[in-house]
Amino acid sequence: MEKFKIAFIGLGLIGGSIAMRIRKKFPDAEIVALNRSDATLKSALADGIINNGTHEIDDSFRNCDYIFLSAPVDTNISFLEKLKPFLTEKTILTDAGSVKGKIHKAVNDILPDAHFIGGHPMAGSEKSGYANANDHLIENAYYILTPSDNVTDDEVENYKAFVTKLDSIPLVLSPKDHDYVTAAVSHMPHIVAYSLVQTVMETDSPEEYMKMIAAGGFKDITRIASSDATMWEQICLENPENIRILIDEFMQRMRRFDDFIKDANGSELHKSFDEIKNYRNSIRDGRKGALPKIYDLHCDIIDEAGAIATIATILSTQGISMKNIGIIHNRTYEQGALHIEFYDEASKSKASQTLSRHGYTVFPD
Ligand code: NAP
- Each residue's pLDDT, cut to its tens digit, for the chain (365 residues) gives 578 999 999 999 999 999 999 999 999 999 999 999 999 999 999 999 999 999 999 999 999 999 999 999 999 999 999 999 999 999 999 999 999 999 999 999 999 999 999 999 998 877 889 999 999 999 989 999 999 999 999 999 999 999 999 999 999 999 999 999 999 999 999 999 999 999 999 999 999 999 999 887 898 889 899 888 988 999 999 999 999 999 999 999 999 999 999 999 999 999 999 999 999 999 877 667 777 677 888 887 776 678 888 998 999 999 998 888 877 765 555 555 788 888 888 889 999 999 999 988 887 65
- For a mutational test of ligand 1's pocket, the pick from 8, 13, 234, i.e. the residue with the most ligand atoms closer than 8 A to its C-beta, is 13
pLDDT on residue 365: 57
Biggest CA–CA distance in the chain, Å, is: 70
Q: What is the pTM of this model?
A: 0.84
* C-beta of residue 122 within 8 angstroms of C-beta of residue 288: yes
Cβ–Cβ < 8 Å for 23, 1? no
For residue 217, what pLDDT is reported? 81
Q: Is the CB of 15 under 6 A from ligand 1?
A: yes
HSE-CB for 202 with a 13 A CA cutoff = 6
Tell me which of 8, 56, 70 to substitute to probe ligand 1's pocket, judged by most ligand atoms within 8 Å of the beta carbon: 70
Closest residue by Cα to residue 31 from 67, 59, 81 = 67
Question: What distance in Å separates the CA atoms of residue 17 and residue 23, rounded to the nearest whole number?
Answer: 10
Q: What is the distance in A from the centroid of ligand 1 to the CA of 71? A: 4
